[in-house]
Structure 1
Amino acid sequence: MDETFGPSRGRDALRPAPVRLPEAGDAGGTLLDRVFERQDITRVRHAVQGLLAASGFAGDRLQGFVLAVNEIITNAVLHAGGRGRVVLRPEGHSIWCTVTDSGPGIPARYLHPPEIPEAFEVGGRGIWLAYRLCDEVTMATGPIGTTIGLRMSRPAGRAASGLVNGLSTGG
């Protein structure tokens, strides 16, 4: 029986994935795929920001998406066993970021778009921010882990098959 994933594997439930940066002509492939831990949060945030900027994001949309990704990867570290896996990929006219962990699942009160947290409430802002900043948020959660998907539409004129790092691919 394959026990790659599951509660018996603990911290080893997520297999390391190499960092994959886009190559010339690779307009539709995965931009980033890596396992992260606490010490990697800043590096992941900077990698996501650079890849999104290269995909045409700028200003508030860029900063908002980066903030949402940062909040979700931080939640994985703080609440779901200390590590996770982040995948950033283009899909049509959007960029998707999925964050997967092997934690105990998200409590029921956070499974729906949350209300604004109280001013002095500790925590509870990461998922709330993701819902406010992204075009779409998806969640799949259970006792062996969670995957959160964040989607942001690309800026006009930056379709997945047209440009890579600002250069035409001829498509």
Structure 2
Amino acid sequence: MPRATGRPQRVGCTTVEDRINQSVRSAPGREPRVDAARPTVLPVLLDRPFGQNDITVLRHEVSARLAPLRLDGDRRHGYILAVNEVITNVVLHAGGHGRLVLRIDDGSVWCLVTDSGPGIPGDYLDDVQAPEAFEVGGRGLWLAHQLCDEVTTATGPIGTSIGLRIALDAAPDS
């Protein structure tokens, strides 16, 4: 029987987190080996679990972490809205609790939101469309696709991981 390590364990699957988590690992007493084909990942800006009572606080924490970065105001606010929509979906549709990880990777900001809900039905993912004008709800994923440079989704009966990427602006000309 496996011992509990306190760390998440994955068996036979690849997640969105695996795709964007390109940490450089090193053995004790040795210099880290850097793969030239892979960019170095900067430290995590934010990593925290959340629930229903944390949505507003979490939105403000994401906003504070993005403020010093090279990201145009409208794009930054749109990205924060996309993050807010995804975490709200977790609270409403995926058991009420999740985890958010915000990091910089290769000139972009990535936000990974994970949950342990029942998964997103396929018809919501096949062709993400805006709902009808008078339909209540159903705009969260559509907004994320409109406001982010890339949206990745891995979903199934044991949970969902959604990655939201937005490229940082180029450095201003001197």
8 A contact 1:86–1:97 mirrored in 2:
yes
Letter in 2 for 1:127: L
Larger radius of gyration between Structure 1 and Structure 2: 2
8 A contact 1:36–1:86 mirrored in 2:
yes
The separation in 2 between residues aligned to 1:73 and 1:155, in whole angstroms, is: 25
2:144 aligned counterpart, secondary structure: helix
The reply to whether residue 41 of structure 1 matches residue 52 of structure 2 is no
The separation in 2 between residues aligned to 1:5 and 1:105, in whole angstroms, is: 18
The separation in 2 between residues aligned to 1:102 and 1:92, in whole angstroms, is: 28
- Look up the match of 2:80: 66
The separation in 2 between residues aligned to 1:30 and 1:112, in whole angstroms, is: 31
2:43 aligned counterpart, secondary structure: coil
Report matched runs for 1:115-130 at 5 Å. 115-130=129-144
* Cα distance, 1:78 vs structure 2: 0.5
Percent of pairs with identical residues: 59
The reply to whether residue 87 of structure 1 matches residue 101 of structure 2 is yes
- Aligned CA-pair RMSD: 1.9
* Cα distance, 1:56 vs structure 2: 2.3
The separation in 2 between residues aligned to 1:144 and 1:5, in whole angstroms, is: 13
The separation in 1 between residues aligned to 2:73 and 2:127, in whole angstroms, is: 25
Could you list the runs of 5+ residues in structure 1 that have no partner in the other structure?
7-26, 159-171
Structure 1-normalised TM-score? 0.76
8 A contact 1:113–1:128 mirrored in 2:
no
The separation in 2 between residues aligned to 1:64 and 1:44, in whole angstroms, is: 15
- Look up the match of 1:56: 70
Pick the aligned partner of 1:133 from 147, 163, 167: 147
Number of aligned residues? 138
Report matched runs for 1:5-24 at 5 Å. none
Report the CA distance shift for 1:75/1:56 in structure 2 as closer, same or farther (over 3 A).
Answer: same
The separation in 2 between residues aligned to 1:2 and 1:120, in whole angstroms, is: 52
* Cα distance, 1:116 vs structure 2: 1.6
Of the structure 1 ranges 87-96 and 55-64, higher mean CA displacement relative to structure 2 is found in 55-64
